[in-house]
Structure 1
């Protein structure tokens, strides 16, 4: 016997509150764990957590500067003094361009992992160039009166990852 007294309005409201991005991210993590179960190794999260570093400091607070996480998972840092920006891991420079967040570098680290460094004052690398972890790739000129904002992202398969919790200590 089928119960026909469903509260469709509450089910519809619950369905509207589901974030498709969260479902996609959870699905990717499940697929990663299944893959690792078959072939061994580490998940992308584990690899980023253990092998990657922040491009300027591994602390939430750096002098007067403080890391912050924006809504779209991009890490941002107010810069009050000149800072050299370093590659977070070995890779190859895939793209150098300018967009609404300023001059940026995109580095391909393999396995679908990329890093993006925004709002750079100077860029010291070229497209196609290989870079090593902690190699200086650019500079941002800070200002004590009007600080600049440096933005940093890690992408997996083109999607920005939430790395704040394990990259910023």
Structure 2
């Protein structure tokens, strides 16, 4: 037997918060249709009205006809469709929940990493107060090192001795093959 509903299980307020402004009229139309359906369902009784078989036995002249109808009516069972989709939906929700939890964990790890970077940046000496030695200590990969790695002005990679253009080298390598 189907379960009798007494009210809508949809949280319309929470749903309305997530709907974009341009879709609000469509949500209102959908809610009106849903409420109308719920009103029509609730207007009908939960159980079918009982048949007064004794009254029909008095009116119908054919003997045994009402008894036969009563027996057939009481033997009639209309099957309610089995709910086969809820377990599938719950399995999908479990998978989605796992991916949400993984995303949240990954996001929290990223947040923690970025918080550390922010703390390191805030702890650093401001650039306008740094000397060249302070900059070299803070960023050894960016600082000029005239003793261990001398360069020529303007200190770009293309201006240094022994520089080869990687595009030209790749074209030569491709032509050689």
Name the structure with the higher strand share. Answer: 1
Name the TM tier (shorter chain).
Answer: under 0.3
Which structure's CA Rg is the greater one?
A: 2
Higher relative contact order (CA 8 A, sep 6+): 1
With the length of structure 1 as denominator, give the TM-score of the two structures.
0.21
Name the structure with the higher helix share. Answer: 2
